[in-house]
Amino acid sequence: MLHRRHGLPDGWEAIAGRVGWWHCFTADEQAALAEITDWLLRHKHWEAAHDFALTDEITVTIALQAAMLVLGLATDDFREVSAIIVYPSAMQSGGVSAGPISGTVSDGMIPVLGEAHSSRGPLILAWDETIAAAHHPGRGHNVVFHEFAHKLDMLFDDIADGTPHLGGRIEPAHWVTVCTEAFDALQAGHHRPPLQEYGATNPAEFFAVATESFFDVPRSLAHHEPKLYDVLRAYYQQDPAARPQP
């Protein structure tokens, strides 16, 4: 039974209903997602950049998609997330990329869709990209999945190295073998759909990109990259390909 919780605003169900993946979860899963969303709204610092203003639509849409990542994990696995700062659209980043883990790497003026800073630094998101992915799932791009995945990667060691805390669920050597094979192929310029080419940047970006595919185009990933899908399923303790699809 869904009901209003302390951090969830009135009307949150309608906002959740516009997130494409919401309808793919069972009632029990929706209740769990609502609980995690509520926790994120109450325990994280939410802020809008510049002249932008936060709305319930913005915070609930972001928190709910982040909640999907930890549905099979502990909510506290997001303890590296201190603050979420939302920009109306892609931030222009001049010179060297602003963060260690940015959405785009370039040395020119480039649009950055999101960033996840280390050492409990803020997570930065572009709202237009966030809402587009939320309302039109299945394209393999989701900046919320991407940036929150970096924060899971940083858990315990504060290092984004492409290997999150595996918790004994996967043999680390097996994880590394599977991920390295796909990462090396991307680096060599091979096309490995549905993985985005940006995953070739470094192992941390590979994990973030793989997470986007795992949650946003799970059946495609399971079909094209079954070994990678299996290690991600073991890590996240979810089987999104088995769910109804949006």
Binding mask 63-102 for Zn ion (x = CB under 5 A): --------------------------------------x-
Q: Per rule CB under 5 A, is residue 58 in the interface with Zn ion?
A: no
Q: Least separation, in Å, of the C-beta of 146 and Zn ion?
A: 6
Single-letter amino acid code for the residue at 110: I
Cβ–Cβ < 8 Å for 47, 86: yes
The smaller minimum CB distance to Zn ion, of residues 55 and 202, is found at: 202
Among 154, 208, 217, 221, binds Zn ion (CB under 5 A): 208
The smaller minimum CB distance to Zn ion, of residues 8 and 81, is found at: 81
The smaller minimum CB distance to Zn ion, of residues 31 and 159, is found at: 159
Paired residues of 47 in beta bridges: 85
Q: Least separation, in Å, of the C-beta of 80 and Zn ion?
A: 14
Q: Least separation, in Å, of the C-beta of 30 and Zn ion?
A: 28
Residues 101-140 that bind Zn ion (CB under 5 A): 101
How many residues touch Zn ion under the rule CB under 5 A: the total is 3
Q: How far apart are CA 111 and CA 218, in angstroms?
A: 27
Q: Least separation, in Å, of the C-beta of 101 and Zn ion?
A: 5
Q: How far apart are CA 191 and CA 235, in angstroms?
A: 25
Q: How far apart are CA 201 and CA 243, in angstroms?
A: 30
Q: Where are the beta strands (DSSP E) in the chain?
A: 45-48, 83-87, 91-93, 110-112, 114-116, 123-126
Q: List CB contacts of 175: < 8 A, sequence separation 6 or more.
A: 163, 166, 231, 235
Contacts with Zn ion, residue ranges (CB under 5 A): 101, 205, 208
